[in-house]
Each structure stands twice: as structure tokens, then as C-alpha cells.
Amino acid sequence: MAAGSFRRSIASQLSKVLDLPPENLIKSISAVPVSKKRHVADFQVSIASVIENSSSDCSAQDLHLQAQQLAERLKCDSVVSEISAGPGTVNFTINRELLAKTVLHQVWKDGSEYGVKSELFSTVPRQKAVIEFSSPNIAKKFHIGHLRSTIVGNFIANLKVALGHEVVRINYLGDWGMQFGLLGVGFQSFGNEEKLKSSPLQHLFEVYVQINKAAEDENTKKLAKDFFRKLEEHDEQTLSIWKQFRDLSIEEYIRIYKRLGVHFDEYSGESFYQEKAQEVLKMLEDKGLLQKTIKGTGIVDLSEKKDLSTFSTVMRSDGTSLYITRQVSPSVDLAAAIDRMNKHSWDTMIYVTDKSQSNHFQHLFQILKLMGYDWAERCQHVSFGLVQGMKTRRGEVIFLEDVLNEVRSRMLQNMTSTKTTKEMQDPVETAEKVGLAALIIQDFRGLLSSDYQFSWDRALQSRGDTGVFLQYTHARLHSLEQMHGKAELTDVNVACLQEPDAISVLQHLLRYDEVLYRSSQDLQPKHIVSYLLTLSHQAAVAHKTLPVKGSAPDVAQARLCLFHAARSVLANGMKLLGITPVTQM
């Protein structure tokens, strides 16, 4: 890794002066973010992180003095051309030609693995991760929260795989419960086999809406209860109706997920654990954890003082495990977690849902711990905020496909005004990929836990910090390579890449591994988004100030190499986020 060889060289110097092992210093050496000021160093070391007696009590003046003293003891060499002291930091500038040569060579050599081979990840053990995400409810709205869960879960899975971890992607469907009693009765009254086969999600939702209008009717309630009771008793005819609903829905989900570029290794659901949930209730009882309330519901006391100030309800008064909603009962999730550990022997399990379910998962992990499962500490809930204002031209979003169709048609409309669209092989597919990039970048720009107001106009702008701009930059750099032929690294004269705008791009490419490392630690995509937007803005500036056309051959060749490196890293980062880069726009 380019940054790695420079960090090692700096660490080696520091280790001699500070009498510390170089490997202890590597993570203290960070690439300096590119600044609007033209001249910035490439790496810096914070004094507080390397000198033992530098504590938080030190004044800024003391830290600056210590930085100056350390800088004076270090010497420039063939790698480092300048060493200076900043406010509490020692700054290192790399030999400019070596910077260009090393970065370009590394991007070229590592290709799609650039950044992930960094020594920053050398101490991170390769693990098996189970990631549960998307998880829509059959026959109910695939609301915008499910879209967020889908793209966030996909990003985490992509990142883990890129870093060499084994990942199992699970879609845990809401495919059980009293609503299936209603749905079964509704289908007998309003169902249509043809519509079910041609558009299962839409048709089941329509049936569910219709039967819900009669849900308060005593006769309907009784019929729904009977239908669900038969389901729980495994009545063949009732199960076969339910199975048809489930199978056809999954088929349609797979088709829609394919448009998103998302896949799952396993379609699971609450139905899988109906019997195992009963076994879990028995285990809770045997361990003395299950208590009965006056009303007969089963609860687990989670309070520290065992005074029931915090508890979780796991059983209905009729003795069956709760299936109503995740927020109400963790009993089915307990069974699923235990089953997944037995089946996959995972190192970490991540649940991706909205933040309203934080309490549910807190309780789930607490109960698992009380049951004696130490691995509960390796379970993690990645939560996200709510999105307001996501509407299509026809009104409120009900299905994910509505969103995908809307973003494609809006993008296509925007693209038809540009002359290049007419020459495109498949403008509709391009519009879908660009539109999806717009959705993902708008969603990933802030902290996942933040709520945000969705805006079609803002998301689809071709200038500014948008997914459209990333796609436009990638397509532009790709056409530059198509026009001038692919550069060959062997012929590059790096002395031709000393302009400030070229150095800015090289410095930014140097930081990519740190950005990946940061995202791998907190599972937030915003670090990568911010990095790629900066890279795109830099590439846009360099495209103007460093022309390839009309330049001397060796200058043109060097610039082509620089633009190829920028496009390669841009494409890598976009793919991690779940975006397919386009080559024409």
C-alpha cells in the first residue's frame, strides 16, 4: 500500500528517536486531509499519541514546543523531503516524485484491492459475519425504512467482504402472525389467483387493505383467528395457501433486489422459529428467568435490582410466543439468534433496522446474556434514522419498486436534455444506475442515526455533492481514457505531475486506506461518501487545469495515468456503497 510504505519509513525514523517499536507508531501516523491551501504536508503525527508525558493537561504551547523539539531531532531522507512542527503535531512532506510514482504504481498494481491491503488492517482478524437486513413484512408496505435497511446492510456486507471477511446475508421476513389469519380470510373473499401470480406484493397488499376495513367485524375476527390457528396446527390446506403467498413474494423480492444490485444468501423469517420459540420459552423457564404476570403473560426481568423496573414480554397469556411485532417480543429473535450461532458459528452478528427498535435489541442481547450465551456481546444493532418526504408523483411510497421506477423516470427526463443521451446504448439502464446512486448518496451523506428530509430535486442535481455528480465524474474520466487510449504506467515520467492540482489528487489517493479503516470501525458510510465527493471535485478541477489533449506526449501520458488512478479508486468506493459506476452519461 502506497501510504503504508511511507508510514513505515516515518515510523522507522520516529522509533529510533523515541525508542519505541515502529509497529506501535504506525496507527499514530495519519495522512493530512487535503486543504484549500495549496501546500500541505502529506502525513502528521500527533505529539499526544506518541510522547508518554504529553497528557491532555498539557497546554497548546507545551505541545507545540514538544512538537518543535521532536521535529528538530528528525532528519529528511530519500523519502521525506520536509519536516515541520504544527500545533501539537509533527508534519512530514514526501518527496514529490516518489509520491507520484508510489501512489500510481500501487493503485495500478492493487486494482480493486487498493486500500484494503493496507497494514492498518493487519491486526484485524478475518471473521465470519452474519448480517440481517431489509426484512420487509409480506403483504404490508415496503416502506422507506426497509429501503434504508437494504442499502445500509448491503454496504456493510460489501465492506466486510472487501476486507476479507466471510459474510452471510440474511433477509428475515415478517411472514407469520395474526395478519396472516386476516390475509388468508381476505384472499378467500377478495383474492385473484392471476393477480397473485403476476404481481404478488401489490395484490396481497390490496387484499390486506380491503380485509382490514372489516377487521373489527366479530365474524371476520373469528375467521381470521381460526385461519391462523390452523396455520399454527400445520393444517395442510392452510399451510399451502400461506406458502404460496410467501414463495411468490420472495420471487418478486429477488427480482426487485436485483435492480438494486442486492442479493441474500438466506431468506429466513419468523415462521421458521415458531416451534423453536416454544423451546426457548421452556429454556427460560428452566433457568428461572421466565416470570408470569397477573394477566398470565410471560416476562423476563432485566432490571439490575430485580425489581421489574425493566422487563421484556416474551409470552402471551395463552402460553404461545408473541409474533405481533419485533418491538413487543424478542422470543422469536432469541430462537433465531441461537439457531444462527449453531448453524453458522459466526464471530459477529449485525442487525440493521431503524432506531425505534433499539430497545428491542437491547433487551434481546440482555436476555441472551442471562441465558448464558456469552456471544451476545458480539451481537450489534446498527440503527438508522427516519426519512421524511419520500413521495412519488402518484403519492406515498408503498413499494420499493415505486421508488426505483420514480428515480429512473426522473433521471431519464433529466438526461434527455443532454446530447450524449441519444448516443447511449441503453439510456434506461443508465438512468436507473445514476438514479440509484442519487438515492444512496443522499442517504449516506450524514450519520446513519440522523433523521433527514428527502428531496428529489436535491438528490438528482448534476452538480454539487450528489450521486449524480459521482457518476458524471466517473463517466467523464472513462471517456477521457477512451478518447486518448489507456495510459501505460511503465512509460510515465512522474516529474510531469508536480502541479498543485496533480499533487492534491495524489495526496487524496494516499488517504483512501484510512477512510476505509474508519468506516470499518464504526460501519458509517459517510466517511467514504465524503472522500469520494472530494476526489470527484479534485478530478473536475484537474480535468480543467491539466489537459491531456494538446500536451507533450510524456505530460499527456502522466496525466492520463493520474486520471486513471482517480477513476479506479472512485469506482472501487462507489461499488462498496452499492453503486454501479456508469461509463456514459
Domain ranges (residues) in the chain: 2-94, 128-283+320-388, 400-577
Q: Which residues of the chain have pLDDT under 70?
A: 1, 36-38, 52-58, 317-329, 391-398, 419-423
Cα 506 from chain centroid? 26
Sign of the Cα pseudo-torsion (314, 353, 174, 347, in order): negative
Q: What is the pLDDT of residue 396?
A: 65
DSSP state of 346: -
- Supply the pTM of this predicted model: 0.92
Q: What whole-number distance in Å separates Cα of residue 331 and Cα of residue 371?
A: 12
- Give me the residues paired with residue 92 across strands: 43, 83
Rg (CA), the chain: 28
Q: What is the pLDDT of residue 144?
A: 73
Q: What is the pLDDT of residue 149?
A: 95
Q: Which amino acid is at 153?
A: G
Q: What whole-number distance in Å separates Cα of residue 460 and Cα of residue 457?
A: 5
Q: What whole-number distance in Å separates Cα of residue 88 and Cα of residue 44?
A: 10
Q: What whole-number distance in Å separates Cα of residue 530 and Cα of residue 406?
A: 26
- HSE at residue 272, side-chain half, CA atoms within 13 A, is 16
Count the helices and strands in the chain (H runs, E runs): 22, 16
- Give me the residues paired with residue 171 across strands: 267
**Secondary-structure breakdown of the chain: helix, strand, coil percentages, each rounded to the nearest 5:** 60, 10, 30
Cα 228 from chain centroid? 37
Q: What is the pLDDT of residue 488?
A: 75
Is residue 143 flagged as an active site residue? yes
Report, at the CATH architecture level, how domain 128-283+320-388 is classified: 3-Layer(aba) Sandwich (3.40)
Phi/psi of residue 372, nearest 5 degrees: 95, 10
In b/e form, how buried is each residue of 288-320, taking b as 16+ CB within 10 angstroms? ebbeeeeeebbbbbbeeeeeeeeebbbbbeeee
- Contact residues for 374 (Cβ-Cβ < 8 A; gap 6+): none
- Contact residues for 162 (Cβ-Cβ < 8 A; gap 6+): 113, 116, 516, 576
* Beta pairing, strands 379-384 & 348-354: parallel
| Residue in 141, 146, 165, 381 annotated catalytic | 146
Residue 337 near residue 364, CB atoms below 8 Å:
yes
Q: What whole-number distance in Å separates Cα of residue 234 and Cα of residue 228?
A: 10
- Cell numbers at 66, concatenated: 514538544
Same fold across 128-283+320-388 and 400-577: no
- Give me the residues paired with residue 291 across strands: 299
Residue 207 near residue 191, CB atoms below 8 Å:
yes
> Helix (H, G, I), strand (E, B), or coil: what is residue 32?
coil
- Contact residues for 258 (Cβ-Cβ < 8 A; gap 6+): none
Residue 249 near residue 269, CB atoms below 8 Å:
no
> Helix (H, G, I), strand (E, B), or coil: what is residue 495?
helix
Instruction: Provide the edge-to-edge strand list for the sheet that holds 80-86.
Output: 29-31, 43-46, 89-94, 80-86
Q: Which amino acid is at 174?
A: G
Q: What whole-number distance in Å separates Cα of residue 524 and Cα of residue 384?
A: 10
| Residue in 27, 105, 128, 140 annotated catalytic | 140
Is residue 474 flagged as an active site residue? no
In the block, residue with C-alpha cell 426481568: 301
Q: Which amino acid is at 437?
A: A
Q: What whole-number distance in Å separates Cα of residue 563 and Cα of residue 551?
A: 15
| Residue in 141, 143, 433, 564 annotated catalytic | 143
Q: What whole-number distance in Å separates Cα of residue 413 and Cα of residue 144?
A: 23
**Segment (H or E) for 400:** helix 400-415
Which numeric CATH code is attached to 400-577? 1.10.730.10
Sign of the Cα pseudo-torsion (25, 28, 33, 38, in order): negative
Which CATH number, 3.40.50.2000, 3.30.1360.70, 3.40.50.300, 1.10.1270.20, labels domain 2-94? 3.30.1360.70
Distances (CA, A) of 381 to 30, 84, 349, 419: 29, 43, 9, 47
In b/e form, how buried is each residue of 472-496, taking b as 16+ CB within 10 angstroms? bbbbbbbebbeebeebebeebbbeb
Q: What is the pLDDT of residue 326?
A: 47
Strands (E), 24-98: 29-31, 43-46, 80-86, 89-94
Q: Where are the alpha helices (DSSP H) in 307-394?
A: 331-344, 358-370
Q: Which amino acid is at 107?
A: V
